[in-house]
A = this chain, B = another copy of it.
Amino acid sequence: MAKKTLTTLQTIAERLGLSVSTVSRVLNDKSDQYRISARTQHAVQDMARQLDFRPNQLARSLRLRKTQTLGLVIPDISNPFFAQIARHVEIEARSRHYSIILCDTQESTDLEIESIRLLRSREVEGLIVVPVGQKSDHLKTLQAESFPVVIVDRLLSDLDLPYVASDNYQGAYDAVCYLIDHGHTRIACLQGLPGTSPNQQRVRGYRDALGAHGIVPDSDLIRGDSYGSQTGYEQTLQLLLRNSPVTALFALSNLIGLGAIRALAELKRRIGKDISLLCFDDQPYLAYMDPPITTVDQQNTEMGRLAVRLLFEQLAGQTKENKGLLLPTQFIERKSVNNLCLERRDKCDSTH
């Protein structure tokens, strides 16, 4: 049973006294086109099955100049947010008979550059990139060579590549309106990495929502500098230990929210009662906290799927100029936001 020597077209051809080309044509369903007899067809197919023939995709790709492979470049695949995107990229790609080569750039631009080079060296037909987001020259090169790419989540302002991302602005705007509708006016914004587009958009949404309700954003309430939980923890502590009169926290990532939650627990502030919390980026565990956390969910399943679709449009040569896609976020109301209006019974209208 153990086949030491690789089964190739030639193996089959020799055993049947046929030529390699004939075998190839049969196995590629080109028998009709090349008038291969039914007898030969069956013989070939039987033998292929018998030998458990697996066509060598390398040779195939080389000849066809088509690898049926996409590159996926992610800053940190262990981050559930990216992992979910990766999952649906893989599933959608596979449904089109494409495989994924995965590169984790560890939030390093250098590794991102190297990864893209590597992937191109492996002749991937297209790239799906969640950029680290600091530099964009290497991405511009792709653009200049019109190499098929889709950028996901982190947009870069000086880039004109197809992308798919959440509508971070609107998501944040709506979330903050919700807080305001519930009577909150002193709302802290615990932000992530300031240089990145999701953060910028969310902060802008936060500011505009306040402004639209006649509240002047207090820049002392916009705090933090990373997406990690440490930031959320520290900033929350700092804020509350100073007796800042905030009534609500708006955490710009689930990890930041996690940090805030720990800080609040340490300070014995009851979420949804003493203080309110709202998180960008829903994750399963947030529904299981006590109380369950109200969040702004991003459709990462859709993001993954659509990224692949946009990429395939490029591969198909459809240069439709519907380059970018902003996916609406979904507001998930749970129990972490207190309704101050009900408590105070004042002029707030609670028309949802």
Q: Which residues of A contact B (CB under 8 A)?
A: 1-3, 54-59, 61-62, 67, 69, 72, 76-80, 83-84, 86-87, 90-91, 94, 99-104, 106, 117-118, 120-123, 144-146, 229, 255, 258-259, 261-262, 265, 283-285, 287-291
Contact = CB atoms under 8 A, between A and B. Distances in A.
Contacts of A55: 121
Given A56-B62, A99-B101, A101-B101, 17 more contacts: A2-B144, A55-B121, A58-B61, A58-B67, A78-B86, A80-B80, A83-B83, A86-B102, A94-B103, A99-B103, A99-B122, A100-B102, A101-B102, A255-B284, A258-B285, A259-B288, A265-B291
Contact of A58 (B123, B145, B291): B123
A121 B288 contact: no
B78 A84 contact: yes
A258 B288 contact: yes
24 contacts: A2-B146, A54-B117, A56-B62, A57-B121, A57-B122, A58-B58, A58-B62, A58-B67, A58-B123, A77-B83, A77-B86, A78-B87, A79-B83, A80-B83, A83-B86, A90-B102, A99-B101, A99-B103, A99-B118, A229-B284, A261-B288, A261-B289, A265-B290, A265-B291
A291 B145 CA distance: 54
B3 A145 contact: yes
Contacts of A144: 1-2
Contacts of A288: 229, 258-259, 261-262, 265
Contacts of A284: 229, 255, 258
Max count, chain B CB within 10 A of own CB: residue among A2, A101, A144, A288: A288
A99 to B, nearest CB: 5
A231 to B, nearest CB: 13
A92 B59 CA distance: 28
Given A90-B103, A104-B91, A145-B3, A122 B77 contact: no
Contacts of A261: 288-290
Contacts of A102: 72, 86, 90, 100-102
A28 to B, nearest CB: 14
Contacts of A62: 56, 58-59, 62
A72 B104 CA distance: 14
Nearest to A90: B104
Contacts of A1: 144-145
B104 A87 contact: yes
Contacts of A265: 288, 290-291
A100 B101 contact: yes
Contacts of A72: 102
